[in-house]
Amino acid sequence: MLSIKNIHANVEGKEILKGINLEIKAGEVHAIMGPNGSGKSTLASVLAGREQYEVTAGEVSFLDKDLLELSPEDRAREGLFLAFQYPVEIPGVSTTNFIKAAVNEKRKYHGLEPLDSVSFLKIMKEKMKLVEIDQSLLSRSINEGFSGGEKKRNEIFQMAMLEPKLAILDETDSGLDIDALRIVANGINKLHSPERAVLVITHYQRLLDYIQPDYVHVLYNGRIVKSGTKELALELEEKGYDFITEGVDLNA
Amino acid sequence: MIDLTYLNDRFEHLQQASADDGIAVIRKNSFDSFNKTGLPTYRTEDWKYTSISNLFDESFAQAGHTITLADLDALRMPGHHKANELVFVNGRFDATLSNILSTDDELTVLSLKDAAKGEYKDLVARYLNKSSEYMKDGVHALNGAFIEEGVFVYIHKGKTPQHPLYIYHILDGRDHPVMAQPRGLIYVAENSRLQLTETYATLGVSDSFCNGVLEVVVDQNAYVEYYKIQNDKSNASQVSTTHITQIGRSYVHTVTVTLNGGVVRNNMNLVLDAAGNETHLYGLYLLKGKTHADNHTMIDNKQPNCFSNQLYKGIADDFSTAVFNGKIMVQPDAQKTNSFQSNKNILLSDNATINTKPQLEIFADDVKCSHGCTVGQLDEEALFYLRARGIPKDKAEVLLLQAYAADVLAHIKPMAIRAYVEKLIYEHLSIV
């Protein structure tokens, strides 16, 4: 589904990603872990198409399309979803109208009629239950005045509404209490199916108690330095990142 | 350039034809003043960023016109079935096209000439052209020199007309360029209310220039809402002066929305001439193409304990120019004045220009005045967030700009007018 080959990327002239290779197949759950500053969020941003990030080498194919050639909106419509680490507050734009516009833009892209209000509200009600999000939040401006947990739940709610093929969760667990973490994880697990894949980016192992990854990768200094199964996450939690980063040649 | 011989002939002709209409002296004084000062140039501080001298090439509108009810129907604003509608064609008040639903004991509408001679002659004598005490430039004087078919509106004491007042300015540019100089005087008597919306439309493809002056006098305990909606053709220019004098403790609320146009200069003057006046001025300008919009506000605090608040917001895209100049005067007697002003701008293009200037002149020592202005860009993070959900860039920008406009639009109280403006804005922003 997603094939990343030797991606290099710069931010403001500084190379952050130094040759990433990653294959994700439909139905798989991958976790990328790594210490702060290793390039985790840069990878997420590059995949979603944030313009400040300059890809200097490598290629990414997503559902057999050249992902890097697509605009951020087309990536989303093709089925890529990024749950933001820091969801943006947008005063004056109602959350419900925004999500309706997003859903209908995606439908239009795939040659489907826009949802009428009744069908949209019906789907919205279902998904609201899934992530235990309150109607009152959705009638407010996007993320305006939301707590950290509410913002993350809103991300998962949007993901549920858009039903992406590949969901990238960028530190969705950070700043969540244990209840919110459970709700968010539950939303992700409900979405997960043989046709869909999930890429979880996290600093800590605790989200992985709720979401069982098929593969765990350790990102360090812009490269994936170790890959394994979920046991690798437990080992990292126990020993810290040092056991991996020791001996990695930064200049290699 | 302006043809002075032509102007002089037109003026002499008007004075002879209307020698005893009660306004001849104002015209004479105004024309003298115009001849003395001429049109403002960029050397005039108040006109530093806005040049209008080349707009006076347009031909002065002559009497008579061919505007029909069908032409008017195409321009009417929502809610018009329940509104008192005043129509100006080429700057002249047209009683035939106008439609008054309110009874005469609530709201009286007269031609300015009739008002200057009859029951209201003292009011007209006292208040007409008081604006010239503040507006010393030749553009304002030129309107005064050619007051001909103006309108007078009187809202009676204690009355709240059920029907809002809509004023349409139609300029007929179907055959040739046109210059219009509408004039109005509105008296809002004690304990009465007025809700007024004014809008402008040029027909045809020729250039138009509208140099309008509306004076509003607000008496004790009266309440006024005023909405100005400017969304005319790209070659339709105007200088629009709204001069509001609060002679009794009263409440005034104005919203000025400027979308499309050529050169648009708005003078919004508030004279707070009674203790305890309250005034709210809002403005929204969303400029693209080559539109030049200049909002000059002036609040003269003459009496103690007045409160005023101003919020003007706008964007400048393409090759457009936005100017905001907010003048607040606090006279020596105006202790305990509270006056706040904010101007926020978004610059969307490297070729657009924004000039913003607060101008505070304070001669009292116990006052609270604040001002602030910002010029920024559209929030890139917000734009990316919307795009990352599949909303295309142009639509995402429209969403963000609509959101930006929302906190000014929220101050348009009548829902029909607010919805109308929201629709105009959506169309204006969606056309690339």
For residues B142-170, average pLDDT: 96
User: Which residues of chain A make contact with B396, given a CB cutoff of 8 A?
Assistant: 73
Residue B135 tokens, joined: 């507006």
For residues A60-87, average pLDDT: 95
How high is the pLDDT of residue A247? 61
Q: Are B407 and B265 contained in the same domain?
A: no
Asked if B398 has any chain A CB less than 8 Å from its own CB, the reply is: no
Lowest model confidence (mean pLDDT) among B192-201, B221-230, B231-240, B398-407? B398-407
Q: Are B254 and B399 contained in the same domain?
A: no
Lowest model confidence (mean pLDDT) among B4-13, B127-136, B370-379, B413-422? B4-13
Domain boundary among B230, B259, B274: B274
Q: Are B98 and B226 contained in the same domain?
A: yes
Lowest model confidence (mean pLDDT) among A124-138, A151-165, B90-104? A124-138
Q: Quick one: closest CA in B to A161, which residue?
A: B389
User: Which residues of chain A make contact with B390, given a CB cutoff of 8 A?
Assistant: 73, 76-77, 102, 105-106, 109, 162
How high is the pLDDT of residue B432? 55
> Is pLDDT at A241 greater than 90 in this prediction?
no
How many Cα atoms within 13 Å fall on the side-chain side of residue B402? Answer: 23
Nearest residue, CB atoms, B390 vs list A50, A51, A105: A105
Q: Is the CB of A93 less than 8 angstroms away from the CB of B402?
A: yes
How high is the pLDDT of residue A232? 85
pLDDT band at A71 (very low <50, low <70, confident <90, very high): very high
Q: What is the pLDDT of residues B145-155, one digit of tens each?
A: 999 999 999 99
Number of domains in chain B: 2
**B43: in domain:** yes
Asked if B394 has any chain A CB less than 8 Å from its own CB, the reply is: no
User: Which residues of chain B make contact with A90, given a CB cutoff of 8 A?
Assistant: 379, 382, 385-386, 400, 403
Q: Are B83 and B227 contained in the same domain?
A: yes
**B14: in domain:** yes
Q: Is the CB of A98 less than 8 angstroms away from the CB of B399?
A: yes
Neighbours of B66 (CB within 10 A): 10
Q: DSSP characters for A51-107?
A: TTEEEEEEEEEETTEEGGGS-HHHHHHHTEEEE-SSPPPEEEEEHHHHHHHHHHHHH
Asked if B158 has any chain A CB less than 8 Å from its own CB, the reply is: no
Q: Which residue did the predictor score with more confidence, B129 or A35?
A: B129
| Residue the block writes with tokens 């439909």 | A26
Three-state DSSP state, A151: helix
End-to-end CA distance of chain A: 29
Q: Are B388 and B252 contained in the same domain?
A: no
Q: Is the CB of A102 less than 8 angstroms away from the CB of B395?
A: no
Q: Quick one: closest CA in B to A82, which residue?
A: B388
| Residue the block writes with tokens 């029907």 | B163
Q: What is the pLDDT of residues A189-238, one digit of tens each?
A: 888 889 999 999 988 788 888 888 999 999 999 999 889 888 888 888 78
Q: Are B206 and B236 in contact (CB under 8 A)?
A: no
Domain boundary among B255, B274, B293: B274
Domain boundary among B247, B274, B301: B274
Mean pLDDT, all residues of chain B: 94
> Is pLDDT at A250 greater than 60 in this prediction?
no
Strand partners, A58: none
> Is pLDDT at A249 greater than 60 in this prediction?
no
Q: What is the pLDDT of residues B337-364, one digit of tens each?
A: 999 999 999 999 999 999 999 999 999 9
The range of the structural domain enclosing residue B394 comes to 379-432
Asked if B392 has any chain A CB less than 8 Å from its own CB, the reply is: yes
- E-state strands within B74-182: 84-89, 92-99, 107-111, 151-155, 165-172, 178-180
**B291: in domain:** no
pLDDT band at A252 (very low <50, low <70, confident <90, very high): very low
Q: What is the 3-state secondary structure (H, E, C) of B344-401?
A: EEEECCCCCEEEEEEEEEECCCCCEEEEEEEEECCCHHHHHHHHCCCCCHHHHHHHHH
Q: Quick one: closest CA in A to B379, which residue?
A: A90
**B107: in domain:** yes
**B339: in domain:** no
Q: What is the ipTM of this complex?
A: 0.94
User: Which residues of chain B make contact with A73, given a CB cutoff of 8 A?
Assistant: 387-388, 390-393, 396
Nearest residue, CB atoms, A88 vs list B381, B392, B404: B381
**B234: in domain:** yes
Q: Which residue did the predictor score with more confidence, A182 or B76?
A: B76
Q: What is the pLDDT of residues B173-205, one digit of tens each?
A: 999 999 999 999 999 999 999 999 999 999 999
In chain A the domains, ranked by start, together with CATH numbers, are: 2-245 (3.40.50.300)
What is the C-alpha separation between B314 and B319, in angstroms, rounded? 14
**B229: in domain:** yes
CA distance A94 to chain B (A): 9
Q: Is the CB of B388 less than 8 angstroms away from the CB of A88?
A: no
**B420: in domain:** yes
Q: Are B208 and B62 contained in the same domain?
A: yes
Asked if A183 has any chain B CB less than 8 Å from its own CB, the reply is: no
Q: Quick one: closest CA in A to B410, which residue?
A: A92
Q: Quick one: closest CA in B to A99, which residue?
A: B389
Nearest residue, CB atoms, B391 vs list A82, A88, A102: A102
pLDDT band at A248 (very low <50, low <70, confident <90, very high): low
